[in-house]
Amino acid sequence: MLVLVTGAAGFIGSYVSKQLCDRGDTVIGIDNVNDYYDVNLKRMRLQNLASEANFVFIQVDIADREAVNGLFQEYAFDNVVHLAAQAGVRYSIENPHAYVDSNLIGFVNILEGCRHYSIKHLVYGSSSSVYGANKLVPFSENHNVDHPVSFYAATKKANESMAHSYSHLYGLPTTGLRFFTVYGPLGRPDMSPFIFADAINRGKPIDVFNFGDHQRDFTYIDDVVQGVLKTLDTPAAPNAIWSGLDPDSATSDAPWRIYNVGNSKPVQLLYFIECLEREFGKEAKKNLLPMQAGDVKNTYADTSAITLNCGYSPAVSIEEGVSRFASWYLEYIND
């Protein structure tokens, strides 16, 4: 199978590319390798893929319509795993135009390629952030997500709607994956696990918002990759009992599907910090602050649908995941 993976230099994208290659697929990986965070980390991920004979990397910006169309013309892709995006809740407040370019314009370019070149299945990254102002937990794909509280979340919700229109109009099977706080080796330095680890190790204070009264459904990268591959191998299909009179928000009469990809075992943010303290043998210096704009108090994934339909089964505990992450972090900063 020939698979296009966008965001191949990204955290999830690099792991997905590796697993696809390891199981025998051929992967064309693309990324614009921007400097939103340390480019050296992105190059490190790509270096880990360099030994894969069935992996080809091409530096492309998905916002470049002609370049994206040229890729679809040149390669007869079977499936597409679209993980390229401008990430980050807080940065979307500072620079919303970056999210328009990548998450909206870039996504349309990918959809158009899939439409015109008969892609069998498009799997794309969404986010738990779309649950926004929803207070009902665990978060279910059947819940209403009409009230995002960050522009990043709004673009991800837009992606789900845009994908549905292409599934409805053109019969393109699309599956959106709402990722829940992904962490692990090679993780993004702008996310809380890396920020906390770095501060604790260096003896610097960490900003803990909402005075630490947060729960997060931290999901280890290996479990996330399992979710991506299992859904990729289970193309979205129309729901035969879907009704517009009582519409299910996770399925459709078109080949369109939404799944949560999480651990389903949320932990207190302060406990996550405590796990890091144990690994480093140091106590965190906590700067307790009020809730930050665009943030949500708790995340908790209901993963019953992806478990039932795709056989998803997260296996890495928070304690084991933090231990693996901390070990990698120490190697990374000492290289």
Collapsing DSSP states into helix, strand and coil, what is residue 333?
helix
Buried/exposed code over 180-214 (b: 16+ C-beta within 10 A; e: otherwise): bbbbbbbbbeebbbbebbebbbeeeebebbbeeeb
Strands 55-59 and 26-31: what pairing?
Answer: parallel
As a whole number of angstroms, the distance between CA 251 and CA 262 comes to 19
- 87-112 pLDDT tens trace: 988 889 899 999 999 999 999 999 99
- pLDDT attached to residue 44: 96
Catalytic residue among 15, 131, 152, 259: 152
- 278-313 pLDDT tens trace: 999 999 898 877 767 656 667 899 999 999 999 999
As a whole number of angstroms, the distance between CA 201 and CA 296 comes to 27
- pLDDT attached to residue 92: 92
Instruction: Give the CATH H-level superfamily of domain 2-334.
Output: NAD(P)-binding Rossmann-like Domain (3.40.50.720)
Domain-by-domain residue ranges, the chain?
2-334
Q: Whole-prediction pTM value?
A: 0.95
Averaged in consecutive runs of 10 residues, what is the pLDDT profile of the chain (335 residues)? Answer: 98 98 98 95 97 97 98 98 93 94 98 98 97 91 94 97 98 98 96 93 88 85 98 98 95 98 93 95 86 72 98 97 97 86
152 is an active site residue? yes
DSSP state, 13?
H
- pLDDT attached to residue 288: 78
